[in-house]
Every structure is written in C-alpha cells, then in structure tokens.
Amino acid sequence: MKFLFPIFLLLSLKCFPQQGKYPFPTKQQLAWHEMEFYLFAHFGPNTFTDKEWGEGTEPEDVFNPTNLDCRQWCRLAKAAGAKGIIITAKHHDGFCLWPSKYSTHTVRESKWKNGKGDVLKELSQACKEYGLKFGVYISPWDRNHPKYGTPEYNDVFVNMMKEIFANYGPIWELWWDGANGEGPNGKKQVYDWDRFKKTVRSISPNTLIFSDVGPDIRWCGNEKGIAGETNWNYLDTAGFTPGAGAPPVDVLNKGNEYGKSWIPAECDVSIRPGWFYHEQENDKVKTPEQLFQLYLKSVGRGANLLLNVPPDREGHISDEDSASLIGFKKLRDQSFNKVYVECNSDSVVINFEKPMMTNCVVLKESLNKGQKVSRFRVHLVEANNKSEVLEGTTIGSKRIITFPPRVLRRLYFVIDSYKIGLIPKVSVSECFIPENLIAN
C-alpha cells in the first residue's frame, strides 16, 4: 500500500454570542459530537436463527451464547478507538436481553445460565470497566407481547425503560427504532412518543435520545453510513414522528439550515451485509479501507458513525470483524495526528516553510453557539504556482476534504457565507493518508 506524507489542515470556528434565534446544542449534545465513532451490537435470538427480523414466536431456549464475554467486546471497542457500545436490548421480536418483569420472553425463560443470565448487566459493567459509554437500543415494536396493539402496551414499554434505567444506568444514548408492524394479535400499536420522551427526561435528563426525529439525535436517512455533503445540525420536527411519520430521507440526510431544533445526524451501518451475526457472512466483512471511506463520509461530513459489529453465537466478536476494526484504527492513526499552527481570521493564508505533499484538509467548527458556516473555499497552491479551488458548504463538527495528492507550498481558506458571529481558528498537522483511501 502506498502512503502519502500530506499536510492536514484543521480549522476550528470559535463562535461568539449570536443575534437571531438559532438553537444551541446542550452540553450533552456537545459531548456527543466529540464521540465521533462508537459501536452497535445487534444480539438476540436472530443471532441463533439466522434471521434479521424475528417473528416473536421463537422459543426462548434458542438464545444460548456458549461463552458470552462482554469484556472482549469492550477490549476490542477500546482498541478500535470506539467511544461506546449500544446494545439491542429488545429487537422487534420482543425478546429482552434482561430479565424484565414486564415480559415472559426474556433471558430468564431461556436455558442460558439456567435463566440467571443478564446481558445488559454484563455489558454495562464491562463498559464501566473499560471507560466506554453504555447505550441501549429498545424497539417499541414487539411481535411477542400479548398487550401489543392495545393502550396497555404503552405502559409496558414505559415500565421496561424504567427498569433499564434503574438497573443498568447511566444510559448515555437511548435508541428508538421507529418500526411499527403487527403484534401477535394482528394489531399495530399507537405509540405514545410524547409520554416516552417525558419518561426518559424525568428519570435520566442527561440521556441522549435517538430516533428519526430526535429529540436529541436524528437518523441520517439511510443505513449505508453516509451523511449529506451538506449537513446541518438543525431540524424541523413539527408534525413529524419516528418511523412512517418521519421527514423525507433527503431532509434527514442534510437537515434544515434554519431548523428550529438542534438534532444532529448519526450514521448507522453494519460491518457486515446483515445486522445480526451470520456465519456465511464471515467473508463479507467490510475491509479497513471500506470503513475508512465510511468515516470520511460520516464523521468527515459532521455526523457521528455508529458501526454495527454483531457478536457471534459464542457471545464473542469474531476474528474477522476484530481484524477489520483494528485495521480501521491503524488507518485513522496514520492519517490524522499532530497539530502545529493556529491562527484567527475569516480568511487564512498558510505558507509552508518548504513544499509538502498533501491530500487532505480537515475543518472543525466550534458548535457551542450553533452551526454557522454555509459556504467556504480552500485554495491549493502548488510548488509550481499552479492552483486549484475546492468549494464546500457546511462544516459542523468536522469536515474532511480529500483530493488527489499534490506538493503544496500555500493554502488559502475563505469563508464565503456564514451566520453572524464567528472567528475561525486554524491548525496545521502532518498526517499520512493511503493513496487508495481518497474518497470519490
């Protein structure tokens, strides 16, 4: 693999008190932006039946990991540079990975550990041990519960959430899937989203809630792990709900420039073709290079990357997935490192002491007073004075711009359009980007 020795430009925009009524991120959301990359863990009966969506009729005994090791998950996540893990505590089949009092379709009814097992307990403890954030996915759809499709089921769902927060907290991110199909009685549920939100806010106000429309984090509009090239952290949610009532996917992908709520995008994608582990997909795991490309198109466009890495039937993350994750971390480490220079202006000229090979510019906008930049330019001036202009729209938390390698002696950065009240701060770093990783 051929490596380059480029210059990496990191631009941070420092925002001062603004005029107008733009929404600001909360301190929890600001911390979330810094997370950048973390893991999803789809795990449950589907792991053992080779299904993606279970029917809810699977016998509880089908769930029986032979050697569950959540500490292995966390060791790998830490080694891969992931900042947390979100576990599918209850998928659409209704099977609970904890012994819920409000269901009879749980680990308690399985033969795993003679009904004494508790995946949420083991993972939450392991995350604390390894300094990782612990998040929970819980699907409101339940293809097993007899009360699904009745008003009483909303009570069930609220009580399940209360159980999780009481027994396994703190919960950093709560992930609501908007899927809504029929239950065992042939009926669909009318979800009380407002009550669900108020419940979480009352018992755990620091928890970030994800759904198609937030209220704290939004879906990016696809399961390919790709954010919009224009990506605003603002979103209008009036009249919309998670699931079928969500905004169009192109809106979710790019946000609303003048949206009334701060709801940044999270990009979910699986390291495999499926979301749950299937042995026949062991040779289809995304390569480190493919993961790096996804990083450029998610984190590199101001979103966060939620990468699904499903445990196998033993309860381990497979060797194939592990190797790809570690390779992905190595590529990031090779590509982005030291900071050297800082300066302030809405247009910046950087002269290099000697011409340097580069193929990457990274911009970063301070978001504590909102997102400002709507159009910018980067002028690349080569050693022979040949120049090229690269144009972009939003920056947000981070914007990674890649281009064919060239020897530069000067960079110009210009903000052409922005909301009121910002001063840019620019830093320059050395980095190494493999030539075959430059995004198309």
Task: Tell me which CATH code domain 7-12+337-437 carries.
Answer: 2.60.120.260
Average predicted confidence (pLDDT) for the chain: 90
- Give the pLDDT band (50/70/90) at residue 2: very low
Lowest mean pLDDT, pick from 93-102, 273-282, 377-386: 377-386
- Give the pLDDT band (50/70/90) at residue 63: very high
Residue 440, amino acid: N
- For residue 137, give Cα distances in angstroms to 23, 177, 335, 340: 27, 8, 32, 40
pLDDT at 5: 41
Cβ 426 vs Cβ 11: under 8 Å: yes
Tokens of 5: 């020795």
1 vs 438, more confident: 438
Mean pLDDT, residues 327-338 taken together: 85
Residue 192 confidence (pLDDT) above 70: yes
At 127-151, the pLDDT tens digits run: 999 999 999 999 999 999 999 999 9
- Give the pLDDT band (50/70/90) at residue 435: low
Cβ 370 vs Cβ 22: under 8 Å: yes
- Give the pLDDT band (50/70/90) at residue 421: low
Lowest mean pLDDT, pick from 4-13, 164-173, 374-383, 396-405: 4-13
pTM of the model: 0.93
Which among 400, 148, 156, 151 is positioned nearest to 297, based on CA atoms? 400
At 201-246, the pLDDT tens digits run: 999 999 999 999 999 999 999 999 999 999 999 999 999 999 999 9
Share of the chain above pLDDT 70, in %: 88
Mean pLDDT, residues 66-86 taken together: 98
CATH 3.20.20.80 matches 26-334: yes
The dihedrals phi and psi of 313, each to the nearest 5 degrees, come to -70, -15
- Give the pLDDT band (50/70/90) at residue 336: confident
Mean pLDDT, residues 410-431 taken together: 65
CA distance 234 to 411: 30
At 255-271, the pLDDT tens digits run: 999 999 999 999 999 99
Which residues of the chain does CATH 2.60.120.260 include?
7-12+337-437
Which among 24, 26, 36 is positioned nearest to 421, based on CA atoms? 24
Say which residues have a Cβ less than 8 Å from residue 152's Cβ, sequence separation at least 6. Answer: none
Check the CA dihedral 288-294-298-304 and report its sign. Answer: negative
Cβ 310 vs Cβ 276: under 8 Å: yes
pLDDT at 440: 52
Residue 15 confidence (pLDDT) above 80: no
Which residues of the chain does CATH 3.20.20.80 include?
26-334
Mean pLDDT, residues 421-429 taken together: 48
Residue 82 confidence (pLDDT) above 70: yes
Lowest mean pLDDT, pick from 13-22, 128-137, 184-193, 311-320: 13-22
At 364-406, the pLDDT tens digits run: 888 888 898 899 898 999 988 899 999 999 999 999 988 888 8
- Give the pLDDT band (50/70/90) at residue 430: very low
Mean pLDDT, residues 76-95 taken together: 98
pLDDT at 426: 42
Cβ 75 vs Cβ 326: under 8 Å: no
Residue 53, amino acid: W
Q: Which of 13-27, 81-95, 388-402 has the highest mean pLDDT?
A: 81-95
199 vs 369, more confident: 199
Look at strands 133-138 and 173-175 and give their pairing.
Answer: parallel
pLDDT at 26: 97
